[in-house]
Amino acid sequence: MKRTLLLVCSLAAAAPALAQSRGQLGFGGMVGQPTGGSAKYWTRDTQAIDAALGYSGNLAIHGDYLFHAWDIFPAPEQGRLAGYAGLGLRMRNREDDDLEFGFRTPFGASYVLARQPVELFVELAPVFKLNARNALDLDGAVGLRYYFTPSRR
């Protein structure tokens, strides 16, 4: 764990690009419901696709299309802060080895560091299950993503 954190911090300090630009791709991790890996790809300056693979009692995977508002919160002195909302899908393996599907509606906040291509985020996502049991669930996590600069052709 310490080596991973050291690697992420070293990469962040060495890269000059900022996140939230069209074409940026970020990878990282999150802790919560679920805990695991996370990726995000910016399609526009205010829109992105995110996906996660993790564990929340059972294996879970989700993907969302997100809309960001960079002016919803007061501007911090450094970096950028956005609120976001979106719509997505979740698939989770249940205890009886059946697959459970649901629609996610994530809401969260995203803070992009000023000089490093790193995003910190916090998110809550009600999940509307498509099966007869427990029609509503709630995902929530905090996480970090490191962004790679797009290739220059």
Reading the chain (153 residues) residue by residue, the pLDDT tens digits are 333 333 333 333 333 334 467 789 999 999 999 999 999 999 999 999 999 999 988 899 999 999 999 999 999 999 999 999 999 999 998 777 788 899 999 999 999 999 899 999 999 999 999 876 668 989 999 999 999 875 443
Residue 118: inside a domain: yes
Which 3 state secondary structure label does DSSP give 117? coil
Q: Is residue 153 part of a domain?
A: no
Whether residue 10 lies inside any domain: the answer is yes
* CB proximity list for 119: less than 8 A, separation 6 or greater: 19, 20, 26, 28, 40, 110, 111, 112, 113, 144, 145, 147
Name the domain count of the chain.
1
Q: Is residue 82, in this structure, part of any structural domain at all? A: yes
Distance of CA 80 to the CA centre of its chain: 16
Report pLDDT for 132.
64
Domain that holds residue 125: 2-148
66: left (phi over 0), alpha (psi -120 to 50) or beta: beta
- Asked whether residue 136 is domain-assigned, the answer is yes
Report CA-CA distances (Å) from 96 to 51, 93, 111, 126: 25, 8, 39, 23
Sort 118 into a burial class: Cβ within 10 Å, 0-12 / 13-18 / 19+: buried
Whether 38 maps to a domain, the answer reads yes
Q: Do strands 136-148 and 35-42 pair parallel, antiparallel, or not at all (unpaired)?
A: unpaired
Distance CA 16, CA 115 (A): 7
19 phi and psi angles, rounded to 5 deg:
-80, 180
Inside any domain, residue 87: yes
Q: What's the CATH number where 118 sits?
A: 2.40.160.20
Peptide bond into 117 cis (omega under 30): no
